[in-house]
Structure 1
Amino acid sequence: MTAPAVAAPGPGRLARAAAAVATVAVVLVLLYPLLWILASSLRSAGEAATGLSLWPREFTWSNYTAGWSGVNGVGFGAFFRNSTVVAAGAVVGNVVTCLLAAFAFARLRFPLRRFWYAVVIGTLLLPQHVLMVPQYMLFRELGWLNTALPLIVPKLLATDSFFIFLIVQFLRSLPENYDEYARTDGASPLQLFRHVILPLSRPAITATAILTFIWTWNDFFPQLVYLPMVEDSTAPSGLHQYAIAGGLSAPGPMFAMCVLSLLPVLLFFVAFQRLLTSTSTTSGRMAAHLPRPRARR
């Protein structure tokens, strides 16, 4: 009696296994710097700058209390509070103004609409550092230096053309039969925006809020330029102030504050990622079942 032959794995199964191995390898490579920072935040002063191991020989939890004390009497709690104010203002400004601007470009009809939309998209080609000098001179004349106004007020004027483009593309993917239905019933553009566009735009709003918060929280250069004083520093510029004040000689506390600076971004993304997924599914079902407008008589 012969043993049953074992079928050799097919090329499809081998390809899936290779893809899984490659994915795991890429994930490990991407996670290694984060894990190394976490491990370095728990190393002693003598061990912090040696080796690439992910396991400290001695867990030094006092690095977190030492780093939280901050720079020149200003604790990292103040830096986190300043970052929260700037990020919250940027999120509110971008969500409100970019959504209104995108609604105008995607749903309203006015002269030179395509031209002005092209101008807005064209600003994406301008490097941030090219605009920094004239913006700095303008804010200096307004007396806004050493305040959070240069980081918040521009967001209230729909200056982030990327999010205008993002929301316009989302609104164009929605069928226009609800617009026609609302206009047939005599709805004004403001009523159309409030009762039709706004409820369907939750996925775009969520994506705008998530990206704005992450980019603003991590935005180092403008915060360093407009908020040079230690007491006004945000988390990224506060880390810079800590490093130049001697933090490089004791990197453990500095790495500990790096870990704490990453936590708000990670928590914000994890908290709102589910909302983004659920609203995308819900709005897709709503758009697929929108009733057709009533025929005009």
Structure 2
Amino acid sequence: MRKKAIAGKTIYHILVMGIGIIMLYPLFWMFMSSFKETSTIFTTAGNLIPKKVVFENYANGWKGFAGVSFSTFFKNSLFIAVVGTIGTLASSACVAYAFARCKFRGKKILFAAMLASMMLPGQILMVPQYLWYQKLGWVGSFAPLIVPFFFAIQGFFIYLMVNFIEGIPTELDEAAKIDGCSYYGIFGRIILPLMSPALITGGIFSFMWRWDDFMSALLYINDAVKYPASLALKLFCDPGASSDYGAVFAMSTLSIIPIVIIFLVFQKYLVDGIATSGLKG
């Protein structure tokens, strides 16, 4: 039985390692290609290790285009991702607390509408949203990429936090009410500190989605100075001429560093947040 258990664990780890290598291979290929000469990237695609290491790709890529360096693009992405994430967490936490703890008319209907909104493809909303933002005069600015997230427009985060709050014992709310806490006091002093795993999990997903958001930037941003990194990377390649793919891969490698850092720092909270375990003994 012991030999079978060891053999089973060995096979399991080999399979997991194989799947992990397959998933990481494209990223590793991109990273190694960023040190190759542009003319040899696709002709030697099967060779991961470059014959000649070229560091100029990073310098050339950092220069950007249209007189705007990639430092500006990264700053724009960081601003959009951070502010949008703050708005998402703040608004979603408030709405989730109302659904999980407060009693009001139409609660079930609103919750069902929120769940239904999660099933709508984003493409359906593109045209009406664009027309709305155009009338507000937001097209060409960061407003369409930031302001809507302060109004809890993403049902995923609300649903995640509702499940987490429902896992917190209601006895804590009752004890706080006895001590004179209002709904706002219970939310700020009891619920909010306990739901930190859900907030961190939502923050990771929100930051990642805002950082990688290409379509929204393509629709609403029309000035190169305001381009985020996701849009700049696409426009860095000129389909009508030869593109510096070495520089593109170099900037693509740099663009994933913030996501990797955030994941490594906060990965221990992911399981707690997604499992919605609530208060633990």
Q: Which residue of 1 aligns with 2:4?
A: 11
1:287 has 2:251 as partner: no
Deviation readout 1:109-163 (Å, 9 max, x if unpaired): 1112111111111101111010010000001011101111001011000101100
Counterpart residue type for residue 61 of structure 2: G
Question: What TM-score, normalized by structure 2, do the two folds share?
Answer: 0.93
CA distance in 1 between counterparts of 2:280 and 2:119 reads: 36
**Pairwise mapping of residues 188-203 of structure 1 onto structure 2 (< 5 A)?**
188-203=182-197
Q: Determine if contact 2:201/2:270 at 8 Å carries over to the other structure.
A: no
Question: Residue 67 and residue 137 in structure 1: after superposition, are their counterparts in 2 closer, same or farther (change >3 A)?
Answer: same
Q: Which residue of 2 aligns with 1:45?
A: 38
Give unpaired runs (5+ residues) of structure 2: none
Greater Cα radius of gyration, structure 1 or 2: 1
Query: How far apart are residue 249 of structure 1 and its match?
Result: 2.7
Deviation readout 1:69-108 (Å, 9 max, x if unpaired): 0011111011001101110111110110000000000011
1:121 has 2:115 as partner: yes
Question: Residue 76 and residue 288 in structure 1: after superposition, are their counterparts in 2 closer, same or farther (change >3 A)?
Answer: closer
CA distance in 2 between counterparts of 1:149 and 1:90 reads: 10
Q: Which residue of 2 aligns with 1:294?
A: none
Question: Residue 124 and residue 247 in structure 1: after superposition, are their counterparts in 2 closer, same or farther (change >3 A)?
Answer: farther
Counterpart residue type for residue 47 of structure 1: T
Q: Which residue of 1 aligns with 2:28?
A: 35
Deviation readout 1:251-284 (Å, 9 max, x if unpaired): 111100100111111112212224x26987xx97
Q: Determine if contact 2:29/2:48 at 8 Å carries over to the other structure.
A: yes
CA distance in 2 between counterparts of 1:16 and 1:258 reads: 36
CA distance in 2 between counterparts of 1:101 and 1:248 reads: 50
Q: Determine if contact 1:93/1:156 at 8 Å carries over to the other structure.
A: yes
1:250 has 2:244 as partner: yes
CA distance in 2 between counterparts of 1:263 and 1:244 reads: 25
Give unpaired runs (5+ residues) of structure 1: 1-7, 290-297
Q: Which residue of 1 aligns with 2:63?
A: 69
Q: Determine if contact 1:247/1:254 at 8 Å carries over to the other structure.
A: no
Question: Residue 180 and residue 93 in structure 1: after superposition, are their counterparts in 2 closer, same or farther (change >3 A)?
Answer: same
Query: How far apart are residue 247 of structure 1 and its match?
Result: 8.0
SS of corresponding position for 1:73: coil
CA distance in 1 between counterparts of 2:29 and 2:241 reads: 18
CA distance in 2 between counterparts of 1:29 and 1:97 reads: 38
SS of corresponding position for 2:236: helix
Q: Choose which of 238, 256, 259 in structure 1 pairs with 2:253.
A: 259
Counterpart residue type for residue 141 of structure 1: K
Counterpart residue type for residue 9 of structure 2: R
Question: Residue 45 and residue 191 in structure 1: after superposition, are their counterparts in 2 closer, same or farther (change >3 A)?
Answer: same
SS of corresponding position for 1:71: coil
Counterpart residue type for residue 255 of structure 2: S
Query: How far apart are residue 63 of structure 1 and its match?
Result: 0.4
Q: Which residue of 1 aligns with 2:140?
A: 146
CA distance in 2 between counterparts of 1:154 and 1:11 reads: 55
**Pairwise mapping of residues 153-164 of structure 1 onto structure 2 (< 5 A)?**
153-164=147-158
CA distance in 2 between counterparts of 1:129 and 1:288 reads: 40
Query: How far apart are residue 187 of structure 1 and its match?
Result: 1.5
Question: Residue 278 and residue 34 in structure 1: after superposition, are their counterparts in 2 closer, same or farther (change >3 A)?
Answer: closer
Q: Determine if contact 1:64/1:257 at 8 Å carries over to the other structure.
A: yes
> How many residues are aligned here?
278
